[in-house]
Structure 1
Amino acid sequence: MTGNIENEQGPKHKRDLTRRKVVVASAGAAVAVGAGATLAAGAFAGENGKTKGASATSTSSDSEVCYRLTSETTEGPYYIDADKLRQDITEDKEGIPLTLDLKVIDSETCKPLRNVAVDIWHCDALGIYSGYESLSTGGGGLPSGAPSGSPTGEPPTGAPSGGTGGGSIHSEPTDDERYLRGTWKTDKQGRVTFKTIFPGWYQGRCVHIHTKVHVDGEWTDAGYEGGHTCHTGQFFFDEESVLASAEVEPYSTSTTERTTLTEDTIYDQSGTAGGLLTLKYDKKNIAKGVRASITVGVDPDATHDGTDDAVQPGGGGASASPSSSAS
């Protein structure tokens, strides 16, 4: 596996930055990527321009809403550089089934971005991150030396988080597990779908999913090579859905005090523009599964690796303008 992004980062460029490579288990994976997957039709029909904080327009040829520039957030310490090319990232983890439908668009033109690489990663139902099980605080247990007591809104030292300080702090993996992590490419409509589980929570953060979008690379027999990261963000879940999930095992067995969406120090409270997902599920039985969707507006010419201009803990601000990170 190649080194982590933060270890390969050099001077920023617009499109000539070649610094990442996705390694796959076999050349057959590249064939699977080329074939794509059957995506849900009309997955974004529920999105609208009324979400608080969203700057939205509709194109003449497309009735879907175009969200201008989704908020950038910090990468967090537990990113692993695209270790798995796959859409189903569940492995054997227990939890409420979650289908995540994403559409990636150019925030300036509103046109879909095809063949870009999208990473997602998140904790399991009890707040544990694969690759970092010994550092995770899921289930209420704290790692050795970590502070105790109720969360104050600032992620505690050693706990999985969206990042601390300058956002560039990264922890090297402590184990070989890679569940709930995956990378796949968008189709000609800019869409990509992942199968996973509803994330749990851990001390200091609300329920969320991390994401990165990589552009200008090339899909080869070895995977995805070159290009640069144009977006680093997080997806969030409304309180109603999280409270419903907390009634279902294994979520209900967690002893960790939960941080709400409004208390979270990473989510910028801007609704869809800030990464808030549109959710569909049986309100009487969320255990049957959840379908989540969002349109992600990115600036393909910018470099946003989540280590500099992103929303930081306690910042609560909107994303930086496209020109602020593109040299």
Structure 2
Amino acid sequence: MTRRRVVVAGGAAVAAAGLGTVAATAASASPDGSTSASPSASASSPSKEVCYRLTSETTEGPYYIDADKIRKNITEGKEGIPMTLRLKVIDSETCKPLAKAAVDLWHCDALGFYSGYEDASSGGGTPPTGAPPTGTPTGTPTGRPPGGGHQDPTDDKRYLRGTQLTDRHGFVEFTTIFPGWYRGRCVHMHTKVHVGGKMTDSGYEGGHACHTGQLFFAEEDVLASAEVAPYSTNTTERTTLDEDGIYPGNGAEGGLLPLKYRKGKIAKGVVGSLTLGVDPDATNDGTGM
């Protein structure tokens, strides 16, 4: 569904693209959002190199709702560890930022429930409208992760969902909370990148989804969050990153999101940054995986 995209390491082409020298990039991002590259060819080399590897495609999952809320803050008062998420979207062929691309973000709350699907979610015991469960999450993960088959919403709530348009540098920023966990899946967020559409009174319409992915977190970050309420009240068996059936196991290229926070002070908030390398000409809606 995607193709390998390359750039020619010719001096004129490089100057036109503003890249300076051409380097093969391993699609890794530092916590501050910058990328690291290991030069493998000089600007005068006639060889071709991959500018930026495509970020892995994953299933859309059953809980996607075509977002009509263009907004930065998606918390709607949900309780949890404050999180700032910064994503940069670039064309993997040219490494140029994609401006005015629509980036969807959606994820569960601290107890594993999705807005629009509180009755269908397999969260930590009682839906957020009732009393939260108590205890410490333990045990062996059981069950299969939810598949890609879409389900119709069961309620009209839309917390922890939203869409932002990338700026001219390809950046979007969301204000949200660190996600919790539910049966059969590791802690994760969902993303989708749309291009070719336009803004209307009803939201972003038209175009196509060129990327559907998920963002994942290191085990040490998840364990730190599990010490903080209300995550600490989630008694659902937790699936680790290594046990997850969807994480592709390839680091930042697969959506592994580095976090910045003060050690021992994760309750104060976290910042996550990642670059998404996409093929704007491809169609990847995540429904056939």
| TM-score normalised by structure 1 residue count | 0.70
Output the CA distance in 1 between the equivalents of 2:197 and 2:40.
29
Output the CA distance in 2 between the equivalents of 1:66 and 1:257.
40
| Residue segments in structure 2 that go unaligned for 5+ positions in a row | 2-30, 44-49, 128-138
Question: 1:58, 1:66 within 8 Å by CA — same for their partners in 2?
Answer: no
Question: 2:89, 2:171 within 8 Å by CA — same for their partners in 1?
Answer: yes
Match of 2:245 among 265, 274, 283: 265
Residue 59 of structure 1, CA deviation = 11
Output the CA distance in 2 between the equivalents of 1:246 and 1:281.
15
The answer as to 2:110 corresponding to 1:130 is no
Alignment of 1:75-154 (within 5 A): 75-140=60-125, 150-152=140-142, 154=144
Alignment of 1:231-246 (within 5 A): 231-246=211-226
SS in 2 for 1:243: helix
Match of 2:261 among 274, 281, 284: 281
Describe the superposition over 1:202-249 as per-residue Cα deviations: whole angstroms up to 9, x where unpaired: 000000000100001122444322100000000001111100000000
Describe the superposition over 1:125-179 as per-residue Cα deviations: whole angstroms up to 9, x where unpaired: 000000000111211469xxxxxx9534622xxxxx3x2xxx3x11100001000
Using a 3 Å threshold, how does the CA distance of structure 1 residues 210 and 150 change in structure 2: closer, same or farther? same
Match of 2:33 in 1: 44
Using a 3 Å threshold, how does the CA distance of structure 1 residues 66 and 90 change in structure 2: closer, same or farther? farther
Output the CA distance in 2 between the equivalents of 1:128 and 1:213.
23
SS in 2 for 1:138: coil
Match of 2:16 in 1: none
Question: 2:116, 2:154 within 8 Å by CA — same for their partners in 1?
Answer: yes
Output the CA distance in 1 between the equivalents of 2:234 and 2:270.
20
Output the CA distance in 2 between the equivalents of 1:134 and 1:291.
30
Paired residue type of 1:75: E
Describe the superposition over 1:257-280 as per-residue Cα deviations: whole angstroms up to 9, x where unpaired: 110000000000000000001210
Residue 43 of structure 1, CA deviation = 4.0
Output the CA distance in 1 between the equivalents of 2:74 and 2:63.
16
Structure of larger gyration radius: 2
Match of 2:5 in 1: none
Match of 1:6 in 2: none
SS in 2 for 1:269: coil
Match of 2:55 in 1: 70
SS in 2 for 1:48: strand
The alignment of Structure 1 onto Structure 2 pairs a total of residues equal to 243
Using a 3 Å threshold, how does the CA distance of structure 1 residues 113 and 93 change in structure 2: closer, same or farther? same
Question: 2:142, 2:237 within 8 Å by CA — same for their partners in 1?
Answer: no
Paired residue type of 1:44: G
Paired residue type of 1:151: P
| Residue segments in structure 1 that go unaligned for 5+ positions in a row | 1-11, 13-41, 51-55, 143-148, 156-160, 311-327
Residue 57 of structure 1, CA deviation = 8.4
Question: 1:153, 1:205 within 8 Å by CA — same for their partners in 2?
Answer: no
Match of 2:196 among 194, 206, 216: 216
Match of 1:227 in 2: 207
Match of 1:170 in 2: 150
Output the CA distance in 1 between the equivalents of 2:42 and 2:276.
16
Match of 1:3 in 2: none
Output the CA distance in 1 between the equivalents of 2:203 and 2:184.
35
Question: 1:153, 1:259 within 8 Å by CA — same for their partners in 2?
Answer: no
Output the CA distance in 1 between the equivalents of 2:209 and 2:93.
17
Output the CA distance in 2 between the equivalents of 1:217 and 1:58.
37
SS in 2 for 1:300: coil
Using a 3 Å threshold, how does the CA distance of structure 1 residues 66 and 235 change in structure 2: closer, same or farther? farther
SS in 1 for 2:36: coil
Question: 2:67, 2:203 within 8 Å by CA — same for their partners in 1?
Answer: no
